[in-house]
Structure formats: structure tokens, C-alpha cells
Structure 1
């Protein structure tokens, strides 16, 4: 009786590509967060990722394209954290505060404040950095403001202006030291509640 020799099928090319891309993003994120964009070279990234320079340029056009992908992933993680925190809000104002608290907690992930608040505007420019934020955390905030206004929990002020002001307040809170962030959140909550009381 002949023994059947099982041949392992080669790992699908798509899986290899995904693994390489993940390795590059993980390595680049750590280096950009620790040393900044300017002080991080592509040789550092490929060495940390354990891939070739050719692999980097197969997946990303250049270093700034890789940086952009890192920042996009950080924004996506922020938006996911906010969505998880506001899945079953008690009321519209509570939802905004819960979302803000989740935003601050997620921003405290190692390196994230530097990446999003310092490196992204400096490297991509204010316009692109804001446009990217507008697709993620700011979009969640805008939805919360819209829901609160529709429910009559916030006055019918210009939605975009109110969202911009709240966005700036939450970003300022994110820049603060950890032990001061709760104070910022309490003040933002008081401001929102004051706006709500103005309706009664």
C-alpha cells in the first residue's frame, strides 16, 4: 500500500501580501510614534518590519503614503472606540459625553496623540489632516450633534459651527495631561448641559 504524501498548499498570495502590509504598518507606526516622521527613514521601517525595500514600495508609493495609511488606521481605531461607547446611549447629551470620554481614552493609546495632533498636521498639512479627521471622529461628533438637535436636547444653532467648537474642545482636552482630562470633560459636559437648559 502506497503512502499518500500530503503536500502543503502554498500560502495564498493574498495572505502574504496582507501579512507584509500589516508588518509595514505596525513597524512604521511604532517608529513614527517614537521618533517622528522626519527622523524615521525607510531603511529603519523595512528593517523593523523584516521585509525588503522592494516590498515597501510594492505596497506604498513612498514614505508619506505609508505615513498616510498609518494615520488613517489611527483615525479608524478612534471612530470604532467612539461607536462602541455610544451604541446604546441613555440620552443625546449623555451620548455626546460618552463619545467624548471614549475619544479621550482612545487618544491615550501609546503614541496616538503625537501621531494625530503633532505629526499628521505637520507632515500632511492642516487641510488634509482635518479632512481625514472629518471622515472619522469628527463625523461621529457631527452625528451626535445632529441627533441631539433633532431630539431637542441642543438648540438649533448652526450644526457645523457647534461641531467645530466641540471638536476643538475635545482636541484641547486630548492634549492635556492625563490627570487633567477629566476636568476638561466635566467642563464640556457642563457646557452642553447649559446649552440644554437654555431650551427650557
Structure 2
């Protein structure tokens, strides 16, 4: 019994240390960017040792990869939450999901991490892979459902997903720089309707 509590407390400490590192790194990457954030700074902000950082993450890039993956998951959760408004049609779910995406991306730190630093640090291929594993599949599944329901024309699904995903990212970047989100929502809605 006592051994179980020791194992549990070790596991809890490990999770707490990892969480502290991820939270500190996320905050610093969002505020300063990847290039301007040092590992000693992350360690200080997390309140852990440098050894703890390298126990959990091979290097700063691995830590950044973990942070960006969390960001992509958070965006996917917001998209899913937004699209679950009991829409009457698959296209309506796509429209609600696009609003969820823009809402999730309203955090300028998230835009910096995912859309600016992510491709520069990890490369577009790895970002695309993280996106596919976390949030892009929500768009792909929504488009497939709309095609299946006959609400939009049948087009090459992968190409359509890639192109619309890029469009969403550009809208998020523009909004983070001060564009009116309603203008982008209006355009995104029109694009979905044009696919009929």
C-alpha cells in the first residue's frame, strides 16, 4: 500500500514538473517568441532545475513541439465544441466550426506559436503532421460529411482540406493584426456556400 502511494506521488511529481515546464514555455513562447526564449529562462519560470528540463525533453525544440501540439489540441477542442450546436446540416457544422477556429485563434500568443514560429522552427511538413493528428481532421471529417450528405460537391478531399485549412490560417493571422473577424467569417461562410 505504501509503495503504491510512493509510485503515485512520484508520478504526480513527474506530471507536475512536466506541466510546469509546458506552462512556462508556452507563456514565454507566446510573449517573446521561440528565438528570444532561452532554456535557462524557461527553467527559472517553471521553478525547476535544468536537469528536470532535459529529463522531460531532449532539447528546446522538443519542448516547443510539445507546446505546439497542446495548442493544436486546444484548437481542435474549440472547433468540436463549436460545431456541436446541433446544426441542421453538415455545412452549418462547418460554418460553426470555422467560428470555433477563429475564436480559438483569437489568442495572439497562439497565433505566434502555431502560425509564425511553428513552421519556422519545426518546418511546414512537421506542422502539417501535427495539424493532421490534432485539428485538421475536424475539417476533413466535416467536409466528408457535407459531401456524403450532398450539401457540397464532391472534390478531392485532401486537397480541399489543405486549401481551406490554409485559408483559415490566413484569416487568423489577419485578425490577429487587427482585421474585423466578421469580415472573415462572412467570406468563409460564402466559400462554404459556393461549394454546393
TM-score, scaled to structure 2:
0.91
How far the C-alpha of 1:179 sits from its partner, in A, is: 4.4
Larger radius of gyration: 1
Aligned to 2:69: 72
How far the C-alpha of 1:62 sits from its partner, in A, is: 0.8
Q: How many residues align?
A: 188
Choose 152-161 or 174-183, whichever is displaced more.
174-183
Structure with more of its chain in helix, by fraction: 2
- 1:121-165 Cα deviation digits (max 9, x unpaired): 000011111111122221110000000000000101111122122
Q: Distance in 2 between matches of 1:170 and 1:109?
A: 15
Aligned to 2:135: 137
1:26 correspondence with 2:23: yes
Q: Gaps (5+ residues) in structure 2?
A: none
TM-score, scaled to structure 1:
0.89
Q: Distance in 2 between matches of 1:143 and 1:24?
A: 33
Runs of 4+ with >6 A deviation: none
Q: What SS does the corresponding residue of 1:51 show, helix, strand or coil? A: coil
| Structure 1 counterpart of 2:168, from 167, 170, 178 | 170
CA RMSD of aligned residues (A): 1.4
Q: Distance in 2 between matches of 1:104 and 1:179?
A: 12
